[in-house]
Structure 1
């Protein structure tokens, strides 16, 4: 894109950061490249403030003073990720990247309302319905709950819920449920 690219409000995926230890700082930098709306909590805000990275919203029940004055404070009610997702849906965001340390069950309740991508311990998870098709290189690992698979093409099982691509090309997964299914890949 050219340097004249104008980003409309809520067009870029927002960024919810529950854990800063689960993704290296270089990848966090890539997620921050397009200046997303950044959501933190009491445990992750210091990471951003220490590097002078703009924080838009902090979910907190504390009355701390922050070096950035424009930070919007929202009280935690149901939990950080739940409250942040609810805020995004209410404010018409279309997508969000979440850095966390496990797949929160609550994300499944929001998958129909907002596109969610999770980053956990060097893996990227997407949520899909019905089927999944993607071009992958031979030897790439795919993480998916095998009890959700109806059929698969282009991958073989190497461990519980872990598969490997057999060759360069498209893989295809079909699911035995109408619910959203997570699919992970190494980053």
Structure 2
């Protein structure tokens, strides 16, 4: 028995590659052929991976050189402003194209939290580093089933008391038993699931 899945354009999260952290991290995100956006600094590595690039975020003076480099990828959109490679520019573009969600691959999530908080009401945002998958919780309420020994990080919410089923462990929170973990501060915050060592 087979199943057929139809995914409408813009329904799957876009993929924004700020830093080329490795194809194994990115491959699962390519399953539904998302719109792929790449910062100029990561472009050569992403081209080596052989994936189709839809949008490049670059410095204003790079357009002509990049257009030649990306001829085989055409059509490719180029976004640039005086700030050069700016995550704001990429996210405003996604909002203008009615995109609902984005997965951002970055080496430094900490540098992005405050900037991304303003976009959470309009976009579902996931940040991926080589060790943590961060989810922006716009609703202020998080509930997810997690297996025992899962490790969580939290940004933007100082838990006054530990939720049932969690314990503090080496700067993170460890899930004590299989089951739902719930946090509900009522304001947007970030939850990170540790995915690597």
Alignment TM-score, normalising by the size of structure 1: 0.88
1:185 alignment counterpart? 193
2:49 alignment counterpart? 51
Whether the aligned pair in 1 keeps the contact of 2:20 and 2:46 (CA below 8 Å) is no
The Cα RMSD (Å) is 1.9
1:73 alignment counterpart? 78
Task: Quote how far apart the aligned CAs of 1:130 are.
Answer: 2.7
1:95 aligns with 2:101: yes
Q: How many positions carry a matched residue from both structures?
A: 181
1:126 alignment counterpart? 135
* Greater Cα shift, 140-149 or 59-68: 140-149
Whether the aligned pair in 2 keeps the contact of 1:125 and 1:182 (CA below 8 Å) is yes
Q: Which has the higher helix share?
A: 2
1:159 alignment counterpart? 170
- For structure 2, which runs of at least 5 residues remain unmatched after alignment? none
Q: Which has the higher strand share?
A: 1
2:104 is paired with a residue whose SS is strand
Task: Quote how far apart the aligned CAs of 1:146 are.
Answer: 8.0
Alignment TM-score, normalising by the size of structure 2: 0.84
Task: Report the Cα distance in structure 1 between the residues aligned to 2:146 and 2:76, rounded to whole angstroms.
Answer: 40
1:27 aligns with 2:25: yes
Whether the aligned pair in 1 keeps the contact of 2:157 and 2:189 (CA below 8 Å) is no
- Deviation beyond 3 Å, 4+ runs, structure 1: 76-79
- For structure 1, which runs of at least 5 residues remain unmatched after alignment? none
Whether the aligned pair in 1 keeps the contact of 2:132 and 2:192 (CA below 8 Å) is yes
Task: Quote how far apart the aligned CAs of 1:40 are.
Answer: 0.6
